[in-house]
Structures are given as C-alpha cells and as structure tokens.
Amino acid sequence: MGQDEGGKGGKHKNFVPSKGLTSAEASNLLQIHGKNELEEKVTPSWVIFLRQLYAPMPILIWVAIIVEMAIKNWLDAAILLCIQLANATIGWYETTKAGNAVAALKASLKPRATVKRDGKVQTIDGSLLVPGDLVLLGAGSAIPADCIINEGTIDVDTSALTGESMPETKYGGDEAQWGSTCVQGEVEATVTGTGKNTFFGRTAALLGDTNELGNIQKIILKITAGLVIISITLCAIALVYLLKGRNQDFIEALRFVVVLMVASVPLAIEIVTTCTLAVGSRNLSAMNAIVTRLVSIEEMAGMNVLCSDKTGTLTLNKMVIQEDTPIFMRGETRETVIRSAALAAKWKEPPRDALDTMVLGTADLPSLDVYEQLDYMPFNPKVKRTEATLKGPDGKVFKTTKGAPHIILELCENKREIANEVNARVNQFGLRGIRCLAVAKSDEGDRWRMMGVLTFLDPPRPDTKDTIERAQKFGVVVKMITGDQVVIALETARSLGLGTSIRGVQGLPSLGADNKIPKDLGKNYGRMILDCDGFAQVFPEHKYLIVEALRQIGCSVGMTGDGVNDAPALKRADVGIAVSGATDAARAASDIVLTSPGLSVVVEAIIVARCIFQRVKSFINYRIAATLQLLCFFFIAVFAFNPKDYQPPFCPGKGEPELYDSRWRHCIERHEKKKLEEDGWPEFFQLPVLLLMLITLLNDGTLITIGYDYVIPSQNPEKWNLKVLGLASVVLAAVACFSSLLLLWAALDSWRTHSLFQRWGLRPIEYGQIVTMIYLKVSLSDFLTLFSSRTMGWFWTQRPGILLFCGALISLGISTIIASTFPNVEFEHMPIAGLAHAGAKYKMWTLWVWLYCILWWFIQDGLKVAVYRLVVKYNVFGVNKGKEVFVKAPGKEVLDPVGNDNDVVTVSYSRASGKAMATQFKEGAAAATAQDTRLGREIGARYEVGEDGQEYLSVSYSREAGAAIAAELRAEMLKKSGATPPKYK
C-alpha cells in the first residue's frame, strides 16, 4: 500500500488492494496513525479563565489588592477582589461562547464513511478511518481519506483541491484524495493516508499558527498601555506631593493613589470589547456566518477589497443550458435538440455525470417514454461522446449522440457544408465564455446529421450582481479569482458588472526559486493587481501573492474560498472567508465560515461588522474620555484644593463667646463633645473607595449593553485613527473635568460671602454633601459623555439602543439614589452625607446637580461637533484617508507586461464573427479564425468597442507565450491582404 512519490493521479507501484480490516486491526492502527481529522489546538476552559487573571490589567488590580491587604484595609481589598473575579468570569464566558458555536458547527459537518470491517460493510465516523481500510466510493459520496482505487472507474470532482470545475476520471491504481467528491461510478478503494498525512492535511500543516494579535487587540493594547502609563505617572506625582507637600500619612496617601489608579485605568475595556464582538458574532451566526476568530469582525469592517472565488460563490456551480441554440437541421427546435440529447443518455436512471444532470434536468422526461432504448454507449475519454440506439413509436430505429462539437462534426456526412458555420459559432460562444454540446441524429442508413448545438455555462447566482453593487456602494471593491480560462472569467465578470479587465496567470507574480515572496511585491505588482477586475487560470500561490500584494499597498483584503488550494490565501488575508461546503482545510484557515451559499451573506457581514466597529469605537472613545476625566480631576484637585483652606469656623459651643467674621456666611455646627481636629475638613479631596468602585461598576455594567446599541453603518471602510479618537476624547474629558473642578471649587467656597453659590441664591453645603455631590456629578458626566461619544454630530442625531438607554437610566437612577440618600456618617475616615438625607436642611441639591450636568453636556457636545468638523474640513491627522475606497485608476492599461520589457502580442476577436485580428504588427493585420489552442495562454483580456460599433475581445500574450501565435498570424498575413486593424474609442 505504499505510495508512489510521483504525485497525484499516477499509478502506484507495489500496490496491494485491501480486503478489509478487522476491528482489532483498525483499533491498533488508529492508535498508531491517530484520527482522520485535521489537528486543532484546543485551549482548555480553565486556561482561558486563568488568562483573564494574569493579563496586564488584572495584574494591576492584584497589585492594588496586595497593597490594600498590606495596610489592613480589608473592605477595599474585598471590593477589588470581587471586581477582579467578576471581570475574569465575564471575559471567560464571552470568549468561550463563540468558540462553542464553532465547535458545534464542526460537529455537524463530520463526514461519514462506508467501510468493510470484520467482513461486513458498515458506515462509520470518517474520523475513525485508518490506512489499510477498504472503503466504498459511490456517486455523491465524499472521498473520506487519501486512497487508491482497487479496480474500476469513477469520475471525481476535484474542484476543492485544484479549482478545476470538470470531473476527473480515475482508473484502477489511481489515487483519489480526501476533499474531492465521487460524481459517477462505484468502486472499492484502499485507504493510504489519513489526517495530517493526507494532501490537504499537509497543506493545513503548512499554514501554521502565528498567534498574531488581531488589529483590535493591538489597538486596545496600545490604548490601555497609554492610559496606564498616564495613570501611574500622575498617581506617582500625586503620592510624592501628598507625602512631601502635604505631609500626609504614608498609609492614607498610598491607599488614595492606589484606589485612584485602579478606578482610573480602563479595567473592563477588553471585556466590553469582547462582549460587543461576541454579540456581533451571534448576530452573524443567525445570518449563517460562523465567526471563528472574534477580532476578525473588526477587521472586516475595514475591508475595502474582496477577492472572491468564482465557482460556487459568484456562480451556481451548476451547468445550465442557455436559450441560444444554433440549429443545423431543418425542422428542428431547441426543444427537439434537448430531447435528442436526453435520448443519448440513460434517462430512466440517475444522471451519470454533470452533462447528463444538466440535460436530463432540462428535458421533458415523461415524453421520452414512447422511445425504447435498444443500446447505449456511455461516455469515455477516448470517444468523448455518448451514443444511444433507439426505436421510435413508429417502429423506426435510429441513433442519437451528444459530445464535443468537433467530435460530432466529424461524424456528420454534411460536415463540409456546415463546418465553417459550426466552428464560427462555437468560437463565438467560446469568446463569451459559453461552452457547447453538439447533438446529432442518424437515419436508418446510419448517416449522421448535425441537429444543433446546445450552449451551457455555470450562470451567476440570481442575487450576485445586486450583491456586488451593494458591496461597491459600501466602498468594497470585488475582484474575481478563478482557475477557469480568461475568456470565461471575462464573460462572468462582464455579466456581473465587475468590469472587463481580466489578467491571466502569465501576467501575475510567482514565488521565487526559494519559495519566498518576491521583493517589492506591492511596489511592482500592487497597483496593477488593484486595477484588474479579476484573475483567471490562477494557482494557489497566485492567490496568496495577490492577497499579499494588495496588503502591501495598504488594502484591507478579504478572501473567499472553499478548497484546500485556497487555504494559504485565506490564512494570509485580513479576513479569510470559507464559503458554504468548504473543506476542513479551508475552514481551519478562515476567520469566518459561511453555512449558506452565495456572496450576499458576506456583504451582510460587512454591514454588521461596521455596526460593531461603530459600537467598539464609541466605547473606546468614551472609555478614554472617562478615564482622563476621573484621573485629571483628582490629580488637579489634590494640587489645587486644600479643603481646610475653605473650611469655615465652627459655631461656638456652650459657654464659648460668639465669633463674627465677615468672610463667612455661616459657621459649621458641631457636636460639643467632638474635638476640632476630629470634625475638621481633610487636607485633600477624595472619594471613598466604595463610591469610586460604584462609578466603575455601574459604568462597565451599562457599557456591556453597548453591544446592542443602535448605530448607522458607515458607507466607507472603517479604519482606526487613534490621533483623531484621542483628540475627541480629550475634548470630551476636558469639558467634563473642568465642570467638575468648577463645581468642587464652588461647593468648597460656598461658605464664603460673595461666593458663587451665594450669587445663585444657594445655601452653603456641608462637606459630607460635597463628597456625594461630586460623586453624583462625576457619575452623571460619565453617562452623558457616553451619549456624546457615540456620534460625530450632535448626540440627538442618532438614537441610542433600547438596552443601552435603559441600562444608562437604571445606572443613573442608582447613582442618584445613592448620592441623595447616603446616611450622614463618617466613612473611611471622612465625613459623608446624602444630598437629601433624612436630617438635611436643604433637599434640592440633587436637582441642581442634574441641571448643572445637563447644561455642561450641551457645551461638551457642541465643542465635540466643532472639533470634528474642523478635523474633517482640514483633514487633520489624515482623518479622511481612513475612509479611502480603492478604485481602478482611470485609463489604466492592465494588459501591459509587469516587471519586464517583453513585447506583447495582442489579438482582437470580433464577438460578432468570432474572427481574430492581429493589431500590433507593423506589416498590418489579417483576419484569421480563432484557434482553440490560443486560449489558455493569455496575459489578460478586456472588451473594447471599435469605430465600427462592434465589440471586440482583446487578448494579450507575452512574447514568450505568444511566440507560436505570432508566427501563425505572420504566416497568415503573408498569404492574405490585411484589413485595417480596428481602432478603439
């Protein structure tokens, strides 16, 4: 059962067909070779959970917990520990949820195999196959492993491996590979390779796992690192100032800065982002798109070039007979030609190949029952046609045949009269990418006459053209990549509105002798590839290099594919998309797996991805602004405000003389038993840890609902511009911070005469209420900033999602209730009292804080709008470049050679006559019949309109590849007087 190293499809020496294994033998071989499936690294659930505890942000919380425990502040340590575990649990849950969905998809797609074990034929899980197994291959079944056919003949669809759409005939001793499908015949075969030792198992192994961070992960890491550095720096400066400038106790000062650092850094930035992406993943799953890598959703939002496979994605992957049917026998019609073609098949049996499926699916089969099939000759590669002997209802015996036009033409007795017309029509159809099937009928004297030519092609999906137009409206350029001939690709692209410039394989880059990517790939080929509408006759390495060249010139590339040959390009693309029915290798290399056919779901996924991008961007914009607001407020407050400097005198107790000072509106009432230093205001302003953590928890809890926020997807690809994002965040934070500092100063100063509060008619406010007032102000500003950060315009131009709005209302309500009703106590060594607590003399502070925040919210939003408009108008930080849509350069000639000075031979074929016109020879040009041998060696092709109004297909060949063609045309020009070459508009 050894394999010949000569490659696939060859005969294998010393091959011994299997007779079947016993269960014991299969079990032993399974232990040796492993399961017949692609190896996949699975991260245990507990490891995912632990990763949530030792990432950079959690480490910072652990440091804070250790500090709090060291100073025996058990309450604060417990609060921080709860936050740590809650964050880890949410992160673990959301990370594993999407992975479970993918696992469920793969489980549903597990193949089955029919084997002979213990002398019995049985169906088993395909992953349990082992080398030496005897498997049964029949029409419609997938090849379950690499195997060698024992004897007999089958037709195998290898399109998933090679991209070739027509089945390949396999004989006894030939190898059939895992990933292909049997379409005709039934044979026994011996398994020779399983799992990683198969063709596409080795291909998948070459893909590797780079563990490269996704773009969104890099963005979050960069933002988080910047905010942490700012936080640590400012907190360290504040700590030194409190110790040296204010002579504060070390424990109290350290406790303050540690808690401030934890509260200011974006603890949940990765969790909220993951949750938002996970929600988007579930939305895509409902649309038949399974996300295997969450961060690819963000990358899809920025995709501006989509390279799509043709067969099965843009087209139906099913041959369909067209209306255009040339007739060469008087009295015949399209219907009678189809009927005769069906008679040349076993119409009472299941179709034996793709052509039979096409013909029998179109013919009126019940009408054929009046004929009796006396004899039948099936298709074989040598004869290249089928033939049937029939007896009609009138008792007359005749024959029908169908096959390649030139084969059928040779049978016909009148071939001389019709040869030129048949060849011209066939060539004409060929130039339009349409294939032909000739049908002939004999009389009682066995004289064959051509009835007509059926035309067929793999038509585009009904929704493909509209889908492409929709993609283009959203700034995504679609490029077709196929293994078919250039002219077929050109006609498909033309019918879909993709464009009419197709480049063949000879104009594309290739890997060097060392299998490395050519130097300056993007510089030499990038623009040319971008200017093409599609590529034909490509091999896997070309797909990979096309993607790489586009990425090197700044494109964000999506790639669709289904076969093993597509896997490297899928892996290299920014977004790899495995289409419906893709092989395991293609799915393993992809970021998104489609479970329904066609391209429409990809466009829907792009729209969903842009909505998700908007949500993530809004959150990050808000998170930066909220962090800067909180951090800068307390940092500036430590330096700018010493509450003791604003503290009024205490009211005299019993037996003490009354004091009068014109600087103060009132004195502070205090219990006569308490000492002055116990009742005095602190030397720097701070909030209790509980209130700071409440701000963080309520904000992050609300922000998890941002995954369900209502957004309007951008019409252009989305790109991160951290400079613009940072500028907007700074503006939002600056307004919120300034208004908080202004309110703190006004509240501290409220006891003085001529204070701002006195001018507004407000009474002085107790220090304990100042604490809850600032808590409420910071909390309200945070939530209102969230609504401002969602849009570049005014906040009311885009309504929020219901869940986000309700979450914000609930959190605002909780903050308001806490700030209003907090009891009048000493908490964490500082006085604190609710704005409307039971003993408060004035209970309207909550209303005033709300009005104050709303006023500054409008000011904040107005400044944001003004900044965005200036940034866009003057393209500050290249903000407009992020919306760039890649389009073809006007007038760009895509058929010129690239990277060398080779001459180009161009042949223009008239689509009306099928004639060829040589257009680049000084001697002139001559008409010549287009030869089939010229097709398949093209650099590229395009459609042009001549001055005569006719449409021409111009095909270009390189000097090397076109040498024979040039010689043919020159010889023809010596024999014929040249016509004037067509000039193009």
Catalytic residue numbers, as ranges: 309
| 3-state SS track over 18-49 | CCCECHHHHHHHHHHHCCCCCCCCCCCHHHHH
Question: How many Å apart are CA 928 and CA 656, to the nearest integer?
Answer: 123
Tell me the C-alpha distance between 79 and 690, whole Å: 8
- DSSP for residue 983: P
Rounded Cα–Cα distance for residues 443 and 451 (Å): 12
* CA distance readout (Å), 673 to 654, 678, 823: 11, 10, 21
Cα gap 692→698, rounded to integer Å: 10
Pick from 146, 154, 150: nearest CA to 188: 150
Q: What are phi and psi of 543, to 5 degrees?
A: -60, -45
200 within 8 A of 176, measured Cβ to Cβ: no
Q: Is 613 exposed, middle or buried (0-12, 13-18, 19+ CB in 10 A)?
A: buried
CA distances from 191 to 145, 185, 356, 380, 906 (A): 6, 18, 30, 26, 49
Output the DSSP codes for 63-80.
HHHHHHHHTT-HHHHHHH
CA atoms within 13 A on the CB side of 642: 9
- Burial status of residue 897 (CB atoms within 10 A of its CB: 0-12, 13-18, 19 or more): middle
3-state secondary structure of 953: strand
Q: Is 976 helix (H, G, I), strand (E, B) or coil?
A: coil
Both tokens of 197, joined, read 């030792």
Q: Which of 939-959 are b and which e, b meaning 16 or more Cβ less than 10 Å from the residue's Cβ?
A: bbbbbeebeeeeebbbbbbbe
CA separation for the pair 201, 37 (Å, rounded) = 8
The DSSP code sequence of 500-520 is: SEEE-GGGS----TTSPPPTT
**Pairing status of strand 592-594 against strand 575-578:** parallel
Instruction: Give CA–CA dist 601/626, Å, rounded.
Output: 37
**Alpha-carbon gap, residue 36 to 197, rounded angstroms:** 9
User: Helix or strand or coil: residue 782?
Assistant: helix
Question: In this structure, are residues 549 and 522 in contact, taking their beta carbons and an 8 Å threshold?
Answer: yes
Helices 464-473 and 486-496: angle between axes, nearest 10 degrees: 70
Give helix then strand counts, H and E, for the chain.
31, 30
Nearest Cα residue to 447 out of 411, 406, 393, 408: 411
Whether the CB-CB separation of 274 and 94 falls below 8 Å is answered with yes
CA 116 – CA 478 distance, rounded (Å):
47
Q: At what angle do helices 689-703 and 767-789 cross, to 10 degrees?
A: 20
Helix residue ranges, H only, 265-353: 269-286, 296-301, 334-343
A 10 A CB-CB count for 806 gives 13
Residue from 308, 304, 311, 367 nearest 336 by CA: 367
| Residue 437 and residue 454 in contact, taking contact as beta carbons nearer than 8 Å | yes
What element of type H or E holds 228?
A: helix 215-240
